[in-house]
A and B are shown apart, each in its own frame.
Chain A
Amino acid sequence: MRICLVIEGSYPYIKGGVASWVNTVIRAFPEHDFVLYTICAEDKMLGVYKYDIPENVVEIVENSLECIKFEESSNGLRYNIGKEKDESLTNFFLGEEFDWFDLFELMKEKKLGNPTDFLMSQNFFDYAKKIYDKEFATTPFTDFIWTIRSMYLILFYILTQPVPEADIYHSVATGYAGVIAAYGKYLCGGKTIITEHGIYTREREGEIIKAKWVKGYWKELWIKFFYSLSNCSYKHADAVTALFNMNRTLQLELGCPEEKILTIPNGVELERFADVGVRENNPDEVNIGAIVRVVEIKDIKTMIHAFALVKKEVPYAKLYIMGPIDEDPDYYKECIQNVEMLGVKDVIFTGGVDVVEYLKIMDFLLLTSISEGQPLAVMEGLAAKKAFVTTNVGDCHDLLFGFEDNFGQAGYIEYVMDHVAIAQSAIKLCNDYELRTQMGINGYNRIEAMYQKKDFLKQYDDLYNKLYAEKGGK
């Protein structure tokens, strides 16, 4: 079976959750050939891989966003694409009901020239003018034209690039990658899977809202654009997978048909943590651990503030922050300043260490992130039978409290940035050995039943085989 993985801004260029997931999947199925269709941000990243490429990767098609630029163009051409296709494209640009295959057909037959020529064409001007008249009639017109051109540039560029042949197009996000997967399906007749770790549309939306490079009135334009990319992804996918239940709900809200969605959580290898076990009760000693990189999104400062409150009640508590400190040195410096300012003792930044060894001396764990997907740190901590205090982000709630299961509570969930509440829960766990032991065991049971690596790989294996059979492969 030949599987084309479509990956945007991740494996093999950048280490992280999605990338290690991709790495796991490729290595888990040595019997399949994988083709990687990758999109990275800069030219200098091309060919520079952070992972060893497994042998079953037979081809890598690389694209860099940096090389997608406007080129020397002709003076506004007029493409003759027929009335039907013209109406279809009008609907596409106006964000109305539209068949992506109409666009794919035009691109396949190269009816729209090269991307720059098309974006500079009279046809595109007409479409842009319609969008403008409909929703942006009071905004600066020249800016509008260029904004909308640069917005569509990447999309039209990738649609002029050949998509490698494959039986299954597996995209690890919606967005451009999702469109490529759909286009591959159109061109080569494969099947399409979309796996979302975060919700791409929501993430882009968040970025656009915060972005300074997009002027206020264009933000909506961009957000709608990303919605339309997701629409394409969901519509043409044969299966859509979500990591956890909350994401599934979001996908449904974004218009993904319910029958397509499968929830396949990530998994951990229980064996790795078999030696860790429950720690004995030492009166006068409580070690609180945090498996996090020291970066802003993990909100280490809230953790430090919470620990300062813990320290007042439980003077012998210690906080171990286990994770690299060199990713954002400025933020790390600010954290150190925070520690000094609060005068709180026993905050230990270990840097990157062997987590398994350190887990052996931890009593329970903390996670104060502002945003998470399905945090591996929590799953690993639970696999090591440690109770947790986490913020209510991503899948944390379901990991600690379960979703329609009876394993019981594995820790406490508090609001993001609420250091007082986080401290109160942590104090409870500090003072109650029985409670934190029971919660750790509850978590372990849940992981054992539902979040094992072998289970999640099995589900993908089944999915691949099912779709391959549907496609008519043997």
Chain B
Amino acid sequence: MAGIGFQLRKLYEKEGVIPKLKAHLYSTFVTVGPIILSIIVITFLQTILRRVGVDRGRMVELQLTIMYSFVFSVIVASGYCMLLSRYLSDKFYNNEVEDILPSLYGAISVILLIAGPIGAYFYYDSTLPVDHRFFGYVLFIELVIEMVLAVYISALDEYKRVSFSFLYGTITGIVAYYVLVVFVKYDYIVSVLIAFSITIGVVDSLLLMEIRKHFINKSNKYFNFLKYYTKFYLIFFINFFYTVGLYAHDFAFWTHDVLRHHVAETFIYAPYYDFPAFYAFISAIPTLIIFVVKVETDFFEQYTNYFTMINKGACYEDIEVAKKKMSLTIYQNIVYIMQMQLFFSLVGIIVGMLFLPIAGFTSEMVTIYSLSVIGFYFTIIMFVVMTMILYFDDKKSGLIISGHFVIGSFVYSYITTLLGPAFYGLGFICAGAISLVIAFHRLDKYLKEIDYRIFCMAISFEKEEENTLFNKAINRFNKISIIKEELTYDEETKEELKAELGEGTVEKEA
């Protein structure tokens, strides 16, 4: 009986949840962070390079190379990184830190197997110069790796060092660019790509060093994180859908014959819609910051309190009080965030109206921008509500919300492309707004049924590993890695290993 009573505890024990939440929030940051960075770089380049008199067509090609690298690295890595973060938090919880570093190597290998061919295929038919294609490809791959590293970094609490690695990367990049342009007299455009690749390369290396410093012990479980796919595939899809949904409305406009531009046989884009939408995204950033702060203080306190009551022997009445407090906090936080975001969105619209025409936006594009700001308003609030729901491990609701969002983002926007310019931007608003309504409904339903959801939660036992083909293959891969490792062990590691093994036997005897 005791074994069953602990089921609840295991799921909601404080130590188990906090890293999970942090990882979750951080990886969310990572999914939106790069796009912000790309917007900044592009804007910067637009103003600088234009003055130097670079060819306009090449400028667009550069911008698109960077944008594509960012957007698609985020999409490729999104769901995958969620699985990894689950794997990591479990490893921390079970105190199996020796499995962490191997899983990083495994994770990078696997994602490269996925992202590598995609990128290669993408640039294969391109008419871009070879060096442009090469460094575009490198940039994309480096960004994918950075996504994976970010998951591990989020577990370290070393934010200061991490920001320094970004700083060092940027400085190296700027120096490299200066050297390339002034001394080597290399092409302006490709030099930007090379410098950018160097920047991200430096960041990746520094992050990797940082991670290696923290996890010294190593097991041979390189690919075990893949087994989490069977356990947490819903989480994978929730995150993947949400991330794709953020861009799916753009894809819808890429189908439009008139708005679509095809650049260098490589990139498709619809500048008339894409640029306003990308800028609109910036307006949603305040919520992400407020959310992290609010969640880590108000909500989390009530959340922990509620589950402490449940796990530490409170009577029902006390649990009920804690539940009501928690529900109240959830709704208060959401309302607060909605108010704050409303303010920032309005500011965003006003600022956009004032400054975007200067950057060359037509009045129609400014309108699309304003509508997109509203769309992102709903989307980001939806994200907040959905994340709340996921704290309660209600994956089904998460899937419904994110599933609707990704489909809506594309389908509704596609419909507006048929309806005409007056409707551009409304599709995304619909996707966000309806998803938000669904999210509210699901949250409300969950909180109403929370007794059943918590106390009647399915019993699941740690099963013996099933002998599926998938698991067998993973174990085989793990073994291959050992053989390789044994060959490369130097004397020092061998000594360490011996010492470890020695200790192990002593413990057994004791």
How far is it, in angstroms, between the C-alpha of A145 and the C-alpha of B314 when the chains are bound?
12
Decide if B419 is an interface residue (CB 8 Å cutoff).
no
Task: Point out the residues of chain B lying under 8 angstroms from A139, CB to CB.
Answer: 315
How far is it, in angstroms, between the C-alpha of A116 and the C-alpha of B7 when the chains are bound?
14
Task: Point out the residues of chain A lying under 8 angstroms from B461, CB to CB.
Answer: 72
Q: Which of B258-274 contact A (CB under 8 A)?
A: none
| Closest chain A residue, CB of each to CB of B460 | A72
Decide if B183 is an interface residue (CB 8 Å cutoff).
no
Task: Point out the residues of chain B lying under 8 angstroms from A129, CB to CB.
Answer: 316, 451
Task: Point out the residues of chain A lying under 8 angstroms from B5, CB to CB.
Answer: 142-143, 146
How far is it, in angstroms, between the C-alpha of A75 and the C-alpha of B4 when the chains are bound?
15
Q: For B8, B316, B451, which residue has the most chain A Cβ atoms within 10 angstroms?
A: B316
Decide if B50 is an interface residue (CB 8 Å cutoff).
no
User: B459 to A122, Cβ gap below 8 A?
Assistant: no
How far is it, in angstroms, between the C-alpha of A132 and the C-alpha of B453 when the chains are bound?
18
Decide if A138 is an interface residue (CB 8 Å cutoff).
yes
Partner of B455, one of A73, A142, A147, A150: A142
Interface 1/0 per residue, A206-243 and B, CB below 8 Å:
00000000000000000000000000000000000000
| Closest chain B residue, CB of each to CB of A133 | B316
How far is it, in angstroms, between the C-alpha of A116 and the C-alpha of B459 when the chains are bound?
9
Decide if B456 is an interface residue (CB 8 Å cutoff).
yes
User: A73 to B315, Cβ gap below 8 A?
Assistant: no
User: B456 to A121, Cβ gap below 8 A?
Assistant: yes
Partner of A72, one of B319, B451, B459: B459
Task: Point out the residues of chain B lying under 8 angstroms from A149, CB to CB.
Answer: 4
User: B4 to A137, Cβ gap below 8 A?
Assistant: no
User: A142 to B459, Cβ gap below 8 A?
Assistant: no
Decide if A125 is an interface residue (CB 8 Å cutoff).
yes
How far is it, in angstroms, between the C-alpha of A146 and the C-alpha of B9 when the chains are bound?
13
Decide if A49 is an interface residue (CB 8 Å cutoff).
no
User: A75 to B457, Cβ gap below 8 A?
Assistant: yes
Min CB–CB distance A37 → chain B (angstroms): 25
Task: Point out the residues of chain B lying under 8 angstroms from A121, CB to CB.
Answer: 456
Decide if A264 is an interface residue (CB 8 Å cutoff).
no
User: B455 to A125, Cβ gap below 8 A?
Assistant: yes
| Closest chain B residue, CB of each to CB of A74 | B458
User: A137 to B456, Cβ gap below 8 A?
Assistant: no
Decide if B304 is an interface residue (CB 8 Å cutoff).
no
Task: Point out the residues of chain A lying under 8 angstroms from B311, CB to CB.
Answer: 142
Partner of B459, one of A120, A133, A140: A120
User: A132 to B316, Cβ gap below 8 A?
Assistant: yes
How far is it, in angstroms, between the C-alpha of A138 and the C-alpha of B317 when the chains are bound?
8
User: A120 to B310, Cβ gap below 8 A?
Assistant: no
User: B459 to A70, Cβ gap below 8 A?
Assistant: yes
Interface 1/0 per residue, A106-129 and B, CB below 8 Å:
000000000010001110110001
User: A140 to B314, Cβ gap below 8 A?
Assistant: yes
Min CB–CB distance B395 → chain A (angstroms): 11
Decide if B53 is an interface residue (CB 8 Å cutoff).
no
Min CB–CB distance A364 → chain B (angstroms): 49
User: B457 to A137, Cβ gap below 8 A?
Assistant: no
Decide if A141 is an interface residue (CB 8 Å cutoff).
yes
| Closest chain A residue, CB of each to CB of B319 | A141
How far is it, in angstroms, between the C-alpha of A105 and the C-alpha of B453 when the chains are bound?
29
User: B452 to A76, Cβ gap below 8 A?
Assistant: yes
How far is it, in angstroms, between the C-alpha of A301 and the C-alpha of B459 when the chains are bound?
49
Task: Point out the residues of chain B lying under 8 angstroms from A147, CB to CB.
Answer: 1
User: A141 to B460, Cβ gap below 8 A?
Assistant: no
Contacts A140-B315, A141-B315: A73 and B458 contacting too (C-beta < 8 A)? yes
Q: For A74, A120, A121, A132, which residue has the most chain B Cβ atoms within 10 angstroms?
A: A120
Decide if B502 is an interface residue (CB 8 Å cutoff).
no
How far is it, in angstroms, between the C-alpha of A71 and the C-alpha of B459 when the chains are bound?
7
| Interface SS majority for chain B | helix
How far is it, in angstroms, between the C-alpha of A137 and the C-alpha of B316 when the chains are bound?
7
Min CB–CB distance B370 → chain A (angstroms): 43
Decide if B129 is an interface residue (CB 8 Å cutoff).
no
Interface 1/0 per residue, B17-37 and A, CB below 8 Å:
000000000000000000000
Task: Point out the residues of chain A lying under 8 angstroms from B457, CB to CB.
Answer: 75-76, 120
Q: For B8, B315, B456, B457, which residue has the most chain A Cβ atoms within 10 angstroms?
A: B456
Q: Which of B38-67 contact A (CB under 8 A)?
A: none
Contacts A75-B457, A76-B452, A122-B452: A146 and B1 contacting too (C-beta < 8 A)? yes
Task: Point out the residues of chain A lying under 8 angstroms from B458, CB to CB.
Answer: 72-76, 120
User: B460 to A142, Cβ gap below 8 A?
Assistant: no
User: B1 to A137, Cβ gap below 8 A?
Assistant: no
Min CB–CB distance B409 → chain A (angstroms): 29
How far is it, in angstroms, between the C-alpha of A79 and the C-alpha of B294 when the chains are bound?
40
Q: Which of B119-175 contact A (CB under 8 A)?
A: none
How far is it, in angstroms, between the C-alpha of A133 and the C-alpha of B316 when the chains are bound?
9
Q: Which of B265-297 contact A (CB under 8 A)?
A: none
Task: Point out the residues of chain B lying under 8 angstroms from A143, CB to CB.
Answer: 5, 313
How far is it, in angstroms, between the C-alpha of A120 and the C-alpha of B319 when the chains are bound?
19
How far is it, in angstroms, between the C-alpha of A75 and the C-alpha of B446 when the chains are bound?
13
Task: Point out the residues of chain B lying under 8 angstroms from A124, CB to CB.
Answer: 456
| Closest chain B residue, CB of each to CB of A213 | B1
Q: Which of A185-216 contact B (CB under 8 A)?
A: none
User: B317 to A120, Cβ gap below 8 A?
Assistant: no
Task: Point out the residues of chain B lying under 8 angstroms from A120, CB to CB.
Answer: 456-459
Min CB–CB distance B458 → chain A (angstroms): 4
How far is it, in angstroms, between the C-alpha of A125 and the C-alpha of B449 when the chains are bound?
12
User: A141 to B456, Cβ gap below 8 A?
Assistant: no
User: B315 to A75, Cβ gap below 8 A?
Assistant: no
New A-B pairs, 13, CB < 8 Å, besides A125-B451, A129-B451: A71-B459, A72-B459, A72-B460, A73-B458, A75-B453, A76-B456, A76-B458, A120-B458, A124-B456, A140-B315, A141-B319, A143-B313, A145-B455
Chain A residues with CB under 8 Å of chain B are: 70-76, 116, 120-122, 124-125, 129, 132-133, 137-143, 145-147, 149-150
Chosen A-B contacts, 12 in total, with CB atoms closer than 8 Å, are: A75-B457, A76-B452, A120-B459, A125-B455, A138-B315, A141-B319, A143-B5, A143-B313, A146-B4, A147-B1, A149-B4, A150-B1
